[in-house]
Amino acid sequence: MSLERILDAKSVAIVGASKNVTKRGYQAVRTLLDEKYEGAIYPVNPKEKAVLSLKCYPKVAAISEPVDLALIATPAKAVPMVLEDCGAKGVAGAVVLAGGFSEAGLEGKALEQEIVAVAQKYNIRIIGPNTSGALNFKSHMNLVGIKNAPGGDIALLTQSGNMALTLITEASVKSDKGFTYYVGVGNEADLNFHEYLDYFRQDPDTKAILMYVEGLRKGRAFLQSAHLTTAKKPVILFKSGRSSTGKRSAGSHTGALAGDAKVAKSVFEQAGITVIENSDELFPAAEALSCLPPISNNRIAILADGGGHATIAADKLSDLGVELPELAEKTQGMLREILPTAASVPNPVDVAGGTDSDPLLFAKCAEIMLADPNVGGLLIVGLFGGYGIRFAEELTVIEEDAAHQIGKMVQITQKPIVLHSLFTSLSPHPIELMRYYGIPIFDSLDIACSCIDVLSRYGNHLAKQAAIPAFALDWGKGAVDKAQQMIVAAGKEERSVLLEPEGKKLLQWHGAATFKDVLAASADEAAKAVAGLDRPVAMKIVSPDILHKSDAGGVMLNIKTAEAAEKAYHRIMATAKEYKVDADIRGILISPMAESGVEVIIGTKMDDQFGPVIMFGVGGVFVEVFKDVVFQLLPLTAESAAQMIDSIQSASILNGLRGNPPADKAALVQLLLKVSEIIEAYPAIIEMDLNPVIVHTTGVSVVDARVILGD
Amino acid sequence: MSLERILDAKSVAIVGASKNVTKRGYQAVRTLLDEKYEGAIYPVNPKEKAVLSLKCYPKVAAISEPVDLALIATPAKAVPMVLEDCGAKGVAGAVVLAGGFSEAGLEGKALEQEIVAVAQKYNIRIIGPNTSGALNFKSHMNLVGIKNAPGGDIALLTQSGNMALTLITEASVKSDKGFTYYVGVGNEADLNFHEYLDYFRQDPDTKAILMYVEGLRKGRAFLQSAHLTTAKKPVILFKSGRSSTGKRSAGSHTGALAGDAKVAKSVFEQAGITVIENSDELFPAAEALSCLPPISNNRIAILADGGGHATIAADKLSDLGVELPELAEKTQGMLREILPTAASVPNPVDVAGGTDSDPLLFAKCAEIMLADPNVGGLLIVGLFGGYGIRFAEELTVIEEDAAHQIGKMVQITQKPIVLHSLFTSLSPHPIELMRYYGIPIFDSLDIACSCIDVLSRYGNHLAKQAAIPAFALDWGKGAVDKAQQMIVAAGKEERSVLLEPEGKKLLQWHGAATFKDVLAASADEAAKAVAGLDRPVAMKIVSPDILHKSDAGGVMLNIKTAEAAEKAYHRIMATAKEYKVDADIRGILISPMAESGVEVIIGTKMDDQFGPVIMFGVGGVFVEVFKDVVFQLLPLTAESAAQMIDSIQSASILNGLRGNPPADKAALVQLLLKVSEIIEAYPAIIEMDLNPVIVHTTGVSVVDARVILGD
């Protein structure tokens, strides 16, 4: 169902309308009148005849004209009753402001379930509860109470009223940009982030979507929607609640679970979302992405009127991974012709005082630089716009001319320009002109550089987005009958894990790996198994009662002979029984020791917010010391699996370091794909650890497999 | 010599004074008059009788009154002559504005040497050349031309005129702080960073020193001065020119060499300098450190009027390594008493709307929180100061009351308070009041958190600064005669490296390590040497003509028997001669293979800016893949050596991971100290690599030693 009748409502009932100026029910009516809402306003309150000269109705059902949306400003307890009233009238949506629902303990949670049930009965969609409201800037449907919020082309979705206020204030004070819609999602009892996103994707007036998120209730549906959205327009997201103390605060705020930060960042980026990590950079990123073409080649040029700013910007962009190519010989020559000899032209271009008496040189240099095919975008840093203030007033006119010329270049070249100016906060006319042409301007070098970075990141995403798989929402396809039976059997034994031989069988049945393992039921069998092999073996206890095999003395390595195997069998059995006298022992697994290679770890887990994800890293101390792992959403494609392997910091180890031969990455990709297939096939599996996996010059060996089942 | 007659000059001669309003020589006189310089102004120009109604002198020597300082506004070529004139008059210092010196090629470099020679002849100290000037805010000696620069208590030292303008503009627009002095150091032809620093350390009006640095000419002297300074007052530094493109730009700017960024950051921090990496955070850090007590225990509390800001701040501070302790039970109880039930009190404290109708609750909460002994400082985030704007005008008075109360708490508790407010840029009166009490206020959460972080870092430094060694400036003590002779002998052979056996002897003579190596001159000697050992050996070619031994086939490992040694000897010799037919071969080194342990790398180098530094890291792929190394200035103390080992990311490997026993860190400390002793003893050594060193459960083994000699 489209949200048109809700977010573009033609009429709003204010339930709990009041004459008391301190009440939300008064302010809501006042704001709609003050801001000149284009639709009809119907105050509802059985105790009043009129509010602010508008006729007041005893209940929603008493309104004779159609009502699209209800703003419910009553206390939490009254909401179910109000929704019944709304339902009788055929209202399409309700904004529930009150707190005291799922964020406030068990009782609140029950109340939340109750209102959702009532709403579903009548096909009413709920924004909130526990929300600061919603705002349609086009029809002036201001249900929030923030005054003078600027209209524009960015849609704003947040989980914190204060962050909405922060971003709206920032937009008015520091830019001339503004918003199409604002929605405070509140507790997301009914309408979820992804549904708003779907609506904004379709809205032709919305050029970019800006989000502040603490936790997502339907993470995978959100990613699916984001993936479709970012192909059409940028989505800029700040995720808070990363730290344990941050979570403490986020938890008390909306009741949403803040998921694992690293997983969240990885999967957001997979969906093409522009993830922002410094809150200062959030609105500027949306500003830049809403009005500038993205950078297609990750290469930009800097134009500066002084060394300091140029150096700082070059450092920052290098840190961010944006390239500053040396300008083409021809470009450098053309710049040298118009600049003083002290000027530096390779990139950054430092005009070395050349603009002091003629700021029009900025426009000439910009034109030359943007014509260079190496250059995908331009960052201008320094004093532009302030020459009239800093040097001589008559320079202002020349700067204005330059601003007109530079302003038009974005349209002509389809390459973005971002401006840093020391004089931004004084808003001289040349700077106003640059804004008129849609060029974002900052007095912060860090933020200007961050804008260049997001333009480049979004450009990279658009270039490769067609290759990204859709995010599967359905699971269970491709299961193998005998594996399904094995999982069911484990469940019947009330086991939450598969035994190592079972886990390995699962892999083998899916063609993920082959094993020469033997489950020995006696010392004799063990001896025979070892005698038949040309490699030393590991011997491991198999028991549903002994999960930590090494701790229980249940593992012996490097057994080479039949005699040693016999001894080892007895020793492991004895130790295991010491560890747990009535342990249910299924035998001892004889596994040939893997040949040498690079040790990696593959793991999957069911993420609270995003469903099945997969982790990959180079094993051993690398994972332990450097946490050098990468996450992706399951299922994988061959492309995403290969990309995953290459994206860890220690990827070079697989390519062969210090004279070692390269490891078989193709075989590793196959194994990752098979793991993906298995997790897709058996929703009962909530975790799987292949640790370690040895990647050889040819092929891979899975040394241990641990599979954990859910309820 | 003190710089008093220069930076606090009582009289200034303007050489090159002019009537032409576009000339620097006119503007300089104009500015001193406009800004009401307290001293005497003497224009100097043989062609003029008067400039701006002041008598103009034909030359400096013609001025009858004493002249402390000359501002030289002539072109570069005239400067030597002007300095002769100044010398004749007994001028103490000269500010040389012109560019065209060492930053502009060889000719300029010669001119720079010439002016330094003239200056030395007359005992004149030079600021610059290629500088934007200097400014004494107390006497209004404005030799820069930046108007309305705010006075205050921060000294500003920069290598970029634009960055000075940026920081001064930021101070006026975004704070009520300002400066005691500004010096543009320019090319540092004579006066260097450390000399200004010495002066500011002594100045009682300067509370903090703010620096923008591209490269240092006398890095070690600077560190020495900084070390003394940071014990008394904070030094805040931004170093640019980290990236190769950044360096390209920095190089063209001042001619100073930008040193290795990682080394610079490490040694600055060793000297207690507050290093800032985002330019946005530079002035705010100086502001906070100039007017607030540092945080003594790295633990702070957050007070918020909404979840969003609290969560973002908590995330940010956790990332920065500042702790947010849970508040004491008693504190939480007191807060619960005055706040609504929905409030969150563990830390961050979220008042949950409690302040909406009574902003005085901010003061009450702040007082309770600061009384908690767990809390070393307070960060207030949200809407404070804007309640009158956001909610109801009458709340402003209450906010003012709160501001008075909170403002006084810093003085009373000696714990710092930093404020984030959404309404900062509107400067409502409660915010002005907070500023009056010296509380820094920002509309950026990131910057507010960064201020908390620097207050905590400086507090940490003060707590341990007494234990930091002075930075040695003299070298050459503790040399051993026979080692000295060996180095001289290598020099006579025109060798720039010591051979492996020589390097190892050097270590052995200093008691750094012992070796059972034998240098075999024949296959027979090799066989005998191996027969006498109980371990396998490595055999390595020793030749001044073969530096890359492995590439030349000059290394064989794991030789176990006399026969194998004999064969290996012949093979290495044959291969070596194939590699270079007339190679000067000194024999084959027989080294017992080291027992197992953790592989580390120790290296020293002569840094261009800071002199001898030492590097330490866990060896092999860790260094290669993760660049996980740490640098410190030499010489080391036992304390700094131990701290060095513990500060790498992979330090846990030495503590014994995955069931391995801990490595002998004490022996490693001893080795590092011996290396420090050796580098101090032989200034001829410019690089030394012990790679690998194996750290055993007991003791260490140096497997290879490479020593590089300078000219």
Distance from the Cα of A308 to chain B's closest Cα (Å) equals 5
Category of A241 on φ-ψ map: left (φ > 0), alpha (ψ -120 to 50) or beta? left
Task: Give the best residue of B21, B162, B298 to mutate against chain A (max A CB count within 10 A).
Answer: B162
User: B163 and A309 in contact by Cβ < 8 A?
Assistant: yes
* Mean pLDDT value of segment A416-445: 95
Query: What confidence tier does B247 reach under pLDDT thresholds 50, 70, 90?
Result: low
Q: Which residue of B has its CA nearest to A307?
A: B253
Are residues B99 and B189 both part of a single domain? no
With a cut of 80, say whether residue B511 has pLDDT above it: yes
Structure tokens at A172: 């008015």
With a cut of 50, say whether residue A430 has pLDDT above it: yes
Residue B621's domain comprises 598-709
Which of A248, A204, A372 lies closest to B348, judged by CA? A248
- B502 falls within a domain: no
Structure tokens at A492: 């019947």
- Please give the radius of gyration of chain B, using alpha carbons only, rounded to the nearest integer: 32
Residue numbers in B near A346 (CB within 8 A): 248
- pLDDT for A260: 76
Shortest CB distance from B346 goes to which of A248, A346, A624? A248
Are residues A203 and A334 both part of a single domain? no
Distance CA A378, CA A372 (A): 11
- The mean-pLDDT minimum among A374-378, A591-595, B624-628, B700-704 falls in B624-628
Are residues A195 and A102 both part of a single domain? no
Give how many domains chain A has, as a whole number.
5
Among A239, A257, A291, residue at a domain's last position:
A291
Instruction: Map B543-610 to HEC letters.
Output: CCCCCCCCCCCCEEEEECCHHHHHHHHHHHHHHHHHHCCCCCCCEEEEEECCCCCEEEEEEEEEECCC
- B152 falls within a domain: no
User: A311 and B241 in contact by Cβ < 8 A?
Assistant: yes
User: B307 and A249 in contact by Cβ < 8 A?
Assistant: yes
Distance CA B109, CA A563 (A): 82
- pLDDT for A429: 96
pLDDT in tens, A452-480: 999 999 999 999 877 776 677 777 788 89
Structure tokens at B541: 């070619």
pLDDT in tens, A396-408: 999 999 999 999 9
Distance CA A391, CA B147 (A): 11
- B472 falls within a domain: no
CA dist list (Å): A338 to A19, A332, A363: 69, 10, 12
With a cut of 90, say whether residue B251 has pLDDT above it: no
- pLDDT for A1: 53
- Containing H/E element for A91? none
B131 has which bridge partners? Answer: none
Q: Is the peptide bond before A294 cis (omega within 30 degrees of 0)?
A: no
Are residues A612 and A576 both part of a single domain? no
Task: Give the best residue of A185, A239, A315 to mutate against chain B (max B CB count within 10 A).
Answer: A315
Distance from the Cα of B90 to chain A's closest Cα (Å) equals 34
- pLDDT for A254: 44
pLDDT in tens, B183-211: 999 999 999 999 999 999 999 999 999 99
- pLDDT for A391: 82
* Mean pLDDT value of segment A551-580: 91
- B301 falls within a domain: yes
- B509 falls within a domain: no
Are residues B278 and B171 both part of a single domain? yes
pLDDT in tens, B362-372: 999 999 999 99
- Collect all residues with Cβ–Cβ distance below 8 Å to B616 and sequence separation of at least 6: B600, B601, B602, B603, B629, B630, B644, B645, B648, B672
User: B307 and A250 in contact by Cβ < 8 A?
Assistant: yes
- pLDDT for A104: 84
Asked whether A31 and A89 are in contact (CB, 8 A), the reply is no
Shortest CB distance from B242 goes to which of A244, A315, A422? A315
Distance CA A244, CA B326 (A): 12
- pLDDT for B248: 59
DSSP per-residue codes, A358-385: -THHHHHHHHHHHHSTT-S-EEEESSTT
**Vertex B18: Cα angle to B12 and B21 (nearest 5):** 115
Among A104, A126, A145, residue at a domain's last position:
A145
Residue B481 phi, psi (nearest 5):
-50, -50
CA dist list (Å): B103 to A302, A336, B244, B249, B275: 21, 18, 18, 12, 26
Helix (H, G, I), strand (E, B) or coil at A386: coil
Which of B74, B119, B56 lies closest to B93, judged by CA? B119
Residue numbers in B near A553 (CB within 8 A): none
Shortest CB distance from A246 goes to which of B279, B318, B657? B318
Query: What confidence tier does B250 reach under pLDDT thresholds 50, 70, 90?
Result: low
* Mean pLDDT value of segment A692-703: 94
Query: What confidence tier does B711 reach under pLDDT thresholds 50, 70, 90?
Result: confident
Asked whether B440 and B451 are in contact (CB, 8 A), the reply is yes
With a cut of 50, say whether residue A558 has pLDDT above it: yes
The domain spanning residue B579 has which CATH number? 3.30.1490.20
Structure tokens at B661: 């026993």
Q: Which residue of A has its CA nearest to B23?
A: A391
Distance CA B464, CA B452 (A): 19
Asked whether A670 and A461 are in contact (CB, 8 A), the reply is no
Q: What percentage of chain B reaches a pLDDT higher than 70?
A: 97
Structure tokens at B295: 């945080």
Q: What percentage of chain A reaches a pLDDT higher than 90?
A: 77
Shortest CB distance from A309 goes to which of B162, B649, B657? B162
Shortest CB distance from A280 goes to which of B160, B307, B446? B446
Category of A656 on φ-ψ map: left (φ > 0), alpha (ψ -120 to 50) or beta? left
User: B625 and A309 in contact by Cβ < 8 A?
Assistant: no
One-letter identity of residue B619: G
Taking one residue from A and the other from B, the number of pairs with CB-CB distance under 8 angstroms is 231
Are residues B226 and B354 both part of a single domain? no
pLDDT in tens, B85-105: 999 999 999 999 999 999 888
- B413 falls within a domain: yes
Distance from the Cα of B708 to chain A's closest Cα (Å) equals 23
- pLDDT for A709: 93
One-letter identity of residue B672: L
Helix (H, G, I), strand (E, B) or coil at B446: helix
Distance CA A140, CA A135 (A): 7
Q: Which residue of A has its CA nearest to B625?
A: A650
Shortest CB distance from A307 goes to which of B249, B318, B426? B249
User: A620 and B160 in contact by Cβ < 8 A?
Assistant: no
pLDDT in tens, B279-336: 999 999 999 999 999 999 999 999 999 878 999 999 999 999 999 999 999 999 999 9
Are residues A92 and A239 both part of a single domain? no
- pLDDT for B465: 78
User: B311 and A214 in contact by Cβ < 8 A?
Assistant: yes
Are residues A50 and A181 both part of a single domain? no
Mean pLDDT across chain B, nearest whole number? Answer: 92
A503 has which bridge partners? Answer: none
Shortest CB distance from A625 goes to which of B241, B425, B650? B650
Shortest CB distance from A173 goes to which of B158, B425, B653? B425
Instruction: Map B619-635 to HEC letters.
Output: CCHHHHHHCCEEEEECC
Helix (H, G, I), strand (E, B) or coil at B706: strand
Distance from the Cα of A482 to chain B's closest Cα (Å) equals 37
Residue numbers in B near A108 (CB within 8 A): none
Residue numbers in A near B241 (CB within 8 A): 311, 315
Q: Which residue of A has its CA nearest to B159?
A: A308
Per-residue b/e over A480-517, b at no fewer than 16 CB within 10 Å? eeebeebbeebeeeebbebbbbbbbbbbbebebbebeb
Are residues A154 and A183 both part of a single domain? yes
Which of A146, A124, A121, A119 lies closest to A134, judged by CA? A146
Q: What percentage of chain B reaches a pLDDT higher than 90?
A: 77
Distance from the Cα of A276 to chain B's closest Cα (Å) equals 12
Query: What confidence tier does B151 reach under pLDDT thresholds 50, 70, 90?
Result: very high
ipTM of the complex: 0.89
Q: Which residue has the higher pLDDT, B418 or A214?
A: B418
Among A541, A559, A593, residue at a domain's last position:
A593
The domain spanning residue B213 has which CATH number? 3.40.50.261
Instruction: Map A659-692 to HEC letters.
Output: CCCCCCHHHHHHHHHHHHHHHHHCCCEEEEEEEE
Query: What confidence tier does B278 reach under pLDDT thresholds 50, 70, 90?
Result: very high
Residue numbers in A near B243 (CB within 8 A): 314-315, 317-319
Are residues A603 and A700 both part of a single domain? yes
pLDDT in tens, A9-57: 999 999 999 999 888 999 999 999 999 999 999 999 999 999 999 999 9
Distance from the Cα of A650 to chain B's closest Cα (Å) equals 6
With a cut of 80, say whether residue A242 has pLDDT above it: no
Task: Give the best residue of A162, A163, A550 to mutate against chain B (max B CB count within 10 A).
Answer: A162
- Please give the radius of gyration of chain A, using alpha carbons only, rounded to the nearest integer: 32
Are residues B165 and B285 both part of a single domain? yes
Residue numbers in A near B319 (CB within 8 A): 242-243
- pLDDT for B256: 43
User: A625 and B315 in contact by Cβ < 8 A?
Assistant: no
Asked whether B335 and B368 are in contact (CB, 8 A), the reply is yes
Are residues B183 and B88 both part of a single domain? no
Task: Give the best residue of A26, A249, A374 to mutate against chain B (max B CB count within 10 A).
Answer: A249
Shortest CB distance from A625 goes to which of B248, B316, B649? B649
Residue numbers in A near B174 (CB within 8 A): 425
If one counts every other C-beta atom within 10 angstroms of the C-beta of residue B53, the result is 7
Residue numbers in A near B163 (CB within 8 A): 308-309, 312
- B482 falls within a domain: no
Distance CA B183, CA B170 (A): 17
Query: What confidence tier does B55 reach under pLDDT thresholds 50, 70, 90?
Result: very high
Residue B707 phi, psi (nearest 5):
-125, 125
Asked whether B456 and B376 are in contact (CB, 8 A), the reply is yes
pLDDT in tens, A66-92: 999 999 999 999 999 999 999 999 999
Asked whether A216 and A162 are in contact (CB, 8 A), the reply is no
User: B280 and A447 in contact by Cβ < 8 A?
Assistant: yes
- Collect all residues with Cβ–Cβ distance below 8 Å to A110 and sequence separation of at least 6: none
Distance CA B655, CA B695 (A): 11
Distance CA B277, CA B287 (A): 16
User: A382 and B162 in contact by Cβ < 8 A?
Assistant: yes
